[in-house]
Amino acid sequence: MHSYLDLVGQFLVYTLSETLDGKHILEIQLENPFKAILLTLMHLGNLGKLTIMKFFDYSYYRICDFYKKKKDSSAEMTSSLVISLMQFFTVLDLFILVRVFWEYPIPGNFSKYWFLPLIIIFPIINWNRYVKAKKYREYRGVWKTETGKEKRKKGWRIILYLILSIAIPILYGIIKQNLIEGKSFFG
């Protein structure tokens, strides 16, 4: 029996390639599912001006700045954990979006503990990236000169991203179980 990641990987395997003008494009190929998930996460936002990692860096800065203004002594760690939550829900959203368009079977031995490694790994990675490396001061130097209008606009993007990334799994569950009674979305 194939593992859950193999089933997802058979449908959603992305490899990164570059065109002559340097823009990134994603091509679907049937390859390694772990590579697919990793590359999807790494290059999810690379199609616009703001990469997904810069978005998380900026989100870390703004969340940390918010807690520092409240005189919270653990602002960096709290911000790192919020970023971990955002990243976890991003991965969960990817699985759900694939499930909406391709109703793959969930293995009989599937357990909610399959996501436990992500719940553990994201905070460790973010602690090393942000808290241990003391990135807040660096980011403050980059973004402290923003105008009030830019701050509001980007702040709303962070809030909207957080709300949507949490709402997608909730809405999926409500629609799937209550409105279409467990059937596939497209038939």
Joined together, the tokens standing for residue 8 give 């997802």
Give the number of other Cβ atoms within 10 Å of residue 154's Cβ: 18
Cα gap 16→9, rounded to integer Å:
15
In this prediction, residue 156 has a pLDDT band, given cuts at 50, 70 and 90, of: very high
Both structure tokens of 61: 């800065």
Query: What burial class does residue 30 get, using C-beta atoms within 10 Å of its C-beta: 0-12 exposed, 13-18 middle, 19+ buried?
Result: exposed
Q: What percent of the chain is modeled with pLDDT above 70? A: 70
Q: Tell me, yes or no, if the pTM score tops 0.95.
A: no
Mean pLDDT of the chain: 77
> Rounded CA gap, 32 and 82, in Å?
30
